[in-house]
Chain A
């Protein structure tokens, strides 16, 4: 979820360059001798993508005729441009970033649900946290305070503003600062920021240091907020709808499996992240329904528009599967 807006900006600027260079292998995917199609998926090594790792291990993708390669990029910076230019057939990105991309006519579209908030107040995968002894008691107290988010003008600040708004505070008065999730616990302890929007595993780390959750910003946007989605390029979706369908079907199966096997999720996390066991056990796992929640995405779009993230409203019919 890091640096996604930077990625989107890079796409907007450089899609032209890629087209001009005649980037060769866009969309086309090699069929191997055993009848499976090789697909590359750009993911971020975070908790949210556990189902695709798990589904690969369980053989769901193989069953649908896909030979999956997971390319783990650092943050979305590599993923959105990678998918748009055809380096990856599919990618994983947070919903707001895709809404921004759609409103800027970046040729990408969602193909499957990625990850969804648990929808439980104070027991979600993300939240606004403060130090244990902070005077901030609830979201409305954040007005006038310094709040860290991983990326400005993205899902973090727009959802935190909604929390403040709902709690009766002035969302315009919150000062947002950009900081990587993993640096937030230290910044909070050192008093560089008054509050921070963190997601797992940083959330578990802050809680372990005695921090308090003052707002569940995902829940305040929508009861079951679709936080991220798997997506592909328009080009591939038109050229090979069958491949997209195979990927979507296998992903749906993987999401359902992950939802029903939390222990295996924690286990697979230790293979592609280095989250220490103690944090792994303390973490809240997200929810992985098979379908994205359209109403929640609409709400996120409205909030983004209110905050000026898009010049024109994103077209959900074009974006969503």
Chain B
């Protein structure tokens, strides 16, 4: 819901970042950190509200030496992973079912279009009433947001099915299950992978949001406590950690995508361009 840029991979093969790109990336990050160090030191912003990088780094070192930090990190990752898993399984199952069973797609289209735009955060009051400040509150928000990402991609993927391939499979006498396994699934997989990658990022956003606003245990509630306690460097340190997790999740999702689609032309690349 926050990211709209969908990239299933460009034909011609995904270029792996060379060492030059990695250096440039590090230089950019280094420049940013130096800027944050300089701004408060030069008096352009008050160090009370934006402490220099070195102070934030010291707070980060303090955080990682605290057991409670690792518990919170574990809570956040549990909410994220469990939510993503449920959403992915449910999204794929529902997507395939809807497209395979005749008329189900027409019957559900309007309901899906009605439910999908409801922002997950609007369900916070409901989550609080049903589950209090439990992990289940986080899961409700995460699953709701991530489910649609997967479902919609599955629907698109299945729609992309080549009728000729489908008819060929039929005339060779493949049963429903075999056709799902050998024709439908390979066609839909690149879409599913895109959906899961998007869902992974959205799930993290919602997990942190739930913790921050409802107070379910995790990094988000730790950020909120740091904020109300006026522990500003700790707050920035924790925010940086969540950013780092986001980067790792994205790298991981891309790696999984590349591996599972190694046979697909978007990853493999064309022999003759």
Q: What B residues does A71 contact at CB under 8 A?
A: 132-133, 215
Is A275 a contact partner of B129 (Cβ separation < 8 A)? no
Tell which of A13, A78, A201 has the most Cβ of chain B within 10 Å: A78
Contact stretch, chosen from B76-84, B172-180, B226-234: B226-234
Tell which of B129, B221, B224, B226 has the most Cβ of chain A within 10 Å: B129
A216 to B46, CA, bound (A): 28
Given contacts A72-B221, A273-B225, A274-B229, contact A78 B133 (CB under 8 A): yes
Question: Counting CB contacts under 8 A, is A320 at the interface?
Answer: no
Q: What B residues does A46 contact at CB under 8 A?
A: 228
Q: What A residues does B228 contact at CB under 8 A?
A: 2, 45-46, 180-182, 273
Is A74 a contact partner of B229 (Cβ separation < 8 A)? no
B27-52 vs A, CB cutoff 8 Å, 1 = contact: the mask equals 00000000000000000001011000
Residue B213 contacts which of A74, A182, A275 (CB distance < 8 angstroms)? Answer: A74
Given contacts A14-B129, A275-B230, contact A209 B224 (CB under 8 A): no
Residue B129 contacts which of A85, A189, A279 (CB distance < 8 angstroms)? Answer: A85
Q: What B residues does A295 contact at CB under 8 A?
A: none
> How distant is B157 from chain A, measured CB to nearest CB, in Å?
35
Is A74 a contact partner of B126 (Cβ separation < 8 A)? no
Residue B132 contacts which of A78, A180, A186, A205 (CB distance < 8 angstroms)? Answer: A78
Is B221 a contact partner of A182 (Cβ separation < 8 A)? no
Question: Counting CB contacts under 8 A, is A18 at the interface?
Answer: yes
A182 to B131, CA, bound (A): 28
Question: Counting CB contacts under 8 A, is A88 at the interface?
Answer: yes
Q: What B residues does A75 contact at CB under 8 A?
A: 215
Q: What A residues does B227 contact at CB under 8 A?
A: 182
Is B129 a contact partner of A45 (Cβ separation < 8 A)? no
Find the A residue at minimum CB distance from B220.
A74
Q: What B residues does A87 contact at CB under 8 A?
A: 128-129, 131-134
Find the A residue at minimum CB distance from B66.
A274
Residue B226 contacts which of A40, A88, A274 (CB distance < 8 angstroms)? Answer: A274
Is A73 a contact partner of B215 (Cβ separation < 8 A)? yes
Question: Counting CB contacts under 8 A, is A289 at the interface?
Answer: no
Is B230 a contact partner of A74 (Cβ separation < 8 A)? no
Question: Counting CB contacts under 8 A, is B243 at the interface?
Answer: no
A81 to B212, CA, bound (A): 18
Is B230 a contact partner of A276 (Cβ separation < 8 A)? yes
A273-291 vs B, CB cutoff 8 Å, 1 = contact: the mask equals 1111001000000000000
Is B133 a contact partner of A82 (Cβ separation < 8 A)? yes
> How distant is B229 from chain A, measured CB to nearest CB, in Å?
4
Given contacts A74-B221, A82-B133, A275-B230, contact A10 B128 (CB under 8 A): yes
A74 to B130, CA, bound (A): 17
Residue B214 contacts which of A14, A78, A182 (CB distance < 8 angstroms)? Answer: A78
Majority-rule SS of B interface residues: helix
Question: Counting CB contacts under 8 A, is A164 at the interface?
Answer: no
Question: Counting CB contacts under 8 A, is A42 at the interface?
Answer: yes
Residue B230 contacts which of A40, A72, A82, A205 (CB distance < 8 angstroms)? Answer: A205
A23 to B131, CA, bound (A): 9
- Residues of chain A from 11 to 68 with CB closer than 8 A to chain B in the complex: 13-14, 17-18, 21, 23, 40, 42, 45-46
Is A72 a contact partner of B128 (Cβ separation < 8 A)? no
A275 to B221, CA, bound (A): 15
- Residues of chain A from 94 to 128 with CB closer than 8 A to chain B in the complex: none
- Residues of chain B from 129 to 156 with CB closer than 8 A to chain A in the complex: 129-134
Question: Counting CB contacts under 8 A, is B125 at the interface?
Answer: yes
A193 to B226, CA, bound (A): 23
A209 to B224, CA, bound (A): 22
Is B128 a contact partner of A209 (Cβ separation < 8 A)? no
Question: Counting CB contacts under 8 A, is A163 at the interface?
Answer: no
> How distant is B107 from chain A, measured CB to nearest CB, in Å?
26
A42 to B228, CA, bound (A): 17
A82 to B214, CA, bound (A): 11
Is B129 a contact partner of A74 (Cβ separation < 8 A)? no
> How distant is B66 from chain A, measured CB to nearest CB, in Å?
10
Is B128 a contact partner of A274 (Cβ separation < 8 A)? no
> How distant is B136 from chain A, measured CB to nearest CB, in Å?
10
Find the A residue at minimum CB distance from B230.
A205
Q: Which residues of B contact A (CB under 8 A)?
A: 46, 48-49, 125-126, 128-134, 212-215, 221, 224-231, 234
Q: Which 9 A-B residue pairs are closest in the complex by CB-CB distance?
A: A87-B132, A274-B231, A73-B215, A74-B215, A274-B229, A275-B229, A273-B229, A82-B132, A274-B226
Q: Known pairs A82-B129, A87-B129, A276-B229; list 8 more (Cβ under 8 Å).
A: A14-B129, A45-B229, A71-B132, A82-B128, A87-B128, A87-B132, A182-B227, A276-B231
Q: 29 A-B Cβ contacts within 8 A?
A: A10-B125, A10-B128, A45-B224, A71-B132, A72-B215, A73-B132, A74-B213, A74-B224, A78-B132, A81-B129, A82-B128, A82-B129, A85-B130, A85-B132, A87-B128, A87-B132, A87-B134, A180-B228, A182-B227, A182-B229, A185-B48, A186-B46, A186-B49, A273-B225, A273-B229, A274-B225, A274-B234, A276-B230, A279-B230
